[in-house]
Amino acid sequence: MKNILSGFLLMVISMAYPQIQKVEKVIDSSVEKDNFNGSVLVAKNGKIELLTYKGLSNRHYNIPFSDETRFPIFSLTKTFTAVLIMQLYEKGKINLDAPIATYYPEYKGEAAKKATIRNLLTYSSGRENKDISSPELIHQAYDNTIWGLDDFISVFLSEKLVDQPGTKFSYNNGDFILLGKIIEKIYNKSFEEVLKEQILIPLKMQDTGFLHHNDIITNLDEGYSADETDPFSLHMPTNTYIDNFYSAGAMYSTPKDLLLFDQAIFNHTLIYKSTLETMITPDKKLEDTAFGFWVYPKKFGSVNTLFVERQGEGYGHSANWVHLADKGLTVIILSNTKAIKYLNKMRENVIAAYYGQ
């Protein structure tokens, strides 16, 4: 029996290895032709089949990427926020169809009694997104000033409604910043404290945290932007007060830590199976938006799958996280030189290569 099992294991490895070689060719091509710098992780049922690092995390001091490198993940933060909301939901402490004012009565925006928690989770609150409505206001909200949470909400997230809540998808940070405030109100603790207590410490995500602009974080990478005509011509992007992104985009992490989070979600460690099903049920009227993810069927050649994905981008960093819900495949790509549009194509090439398409 032992010989049979050993032979079977060798057969599985020999079958899987050519797939990984094809994936490596995709990655190497991205490095050589397009100056991809960063990390790619491919895991099947939580087991890492490929984890590779390419290029430099810091060009001032010529520091390469490694297992120790920590990446700002920007809007991947929103999925952490969504999970915290779903934990409250399954404990009966939050009603997804209750209005914002139920949990945050001080909120002054017109959406207070009209937009629900579900609307916030699906970017369909109908609010005017003042913080991202013009280049000037984007810089004011995120680059030029460090804001306290309450002041940020008062100045940028308390405007009138421009759409009926629940009827129109409008991607923004504000809806998830309001969710972070609601989490704080229910727990009577800061979002950062709740994040640590409910997710990071239980999962032993020791290389993941909430980033402040004046923090000294060991092994945190730098982000770079490329000229449109030359991917090898890089420059440092504008400074940002990362704190202002709060529960919508202020976190950093690593590929291995993100895999821990991925597995804890999809194996029902952090939330129940029924809660996960609610979380990843997309609203077709709202561009396949689920809670913290987008979810939709996708085809790679002859392979049909259910694509569960999350993206993040900011100031020279981009992050791409895909979980194929019916295949148990996880792909995480983190970069400090490529924009999210590039990673969207790269992830498809990686998955297609993995399945031999």
Q: Does the pLDDT of residue 100 top 60, yes or no?
A: yes
Q: Does the pLDDT of residue 8 top 50, yes or no?
A: no
Q: Does the pLDDT of residue 86 top 90, yes or no?
A: yes
Class of residue 155 by CB neighbours under 10 A (exposed 0-12, middle 13-18, buried 19+): middle
What average pLDDT score do residues 99-114 get? 98
The string of pLDDT tens digits covering residues 161-179 is 999 999 999 999 999 999 9
What average pLDDT score do residues 137-142 get? 94
Q: Does the pLDDT of residue 7 top 90, yes or no?
A: no
Q: Does the pLDDT of residue 284 top 60, yes or no?
A: yes
Lookup: tokens for 45: 């049922």
Residue 240 confidence (pLDDT): 85
For 127-186, the DSSP string reads B--GGGSSHHHHHHHHTS----HHHHHHHHS---BSS-TTS-----SHHHHHHHHHHHHH
Q: How far does Cα 332 stand from its chain's mean position?
A: 10
Residue 2 confidence (pLDDT): 43
Residue 5 confidence (pLDDT): 44
Q: Does the pLDDT of residue 85 top 70, yes or no?
A: yes
Beta strand ranges found along 16-73 (DSSP E): 38-44, 47-54, 56-58, 63-64, 71-72
Q: How confident is the model at residue 9 (pLDDT cuts 50, 70, 90)?
A: very low
pTM of the model: 0.94
CA triplet 156, 157, 160: central angle to 5 degrees? 105
Which comes out higher in pLDDT, residue 57 or 8?
57
The string of pLDDT tens digits covering residues 321-342 is 999 999 999 999 999 999 999 9
Q: Does the pLDDT of residue 244 top 60, yes or no?
A: yes
List Cβ<8 Å contacts ≥24 apart for 20-25.
Answer: 20/49, 20/50, 20/354, 22/353, 22/354, 22/356, 23/50, 23/350, 23/353, 23/354, 24/50, 24/52, 25/353
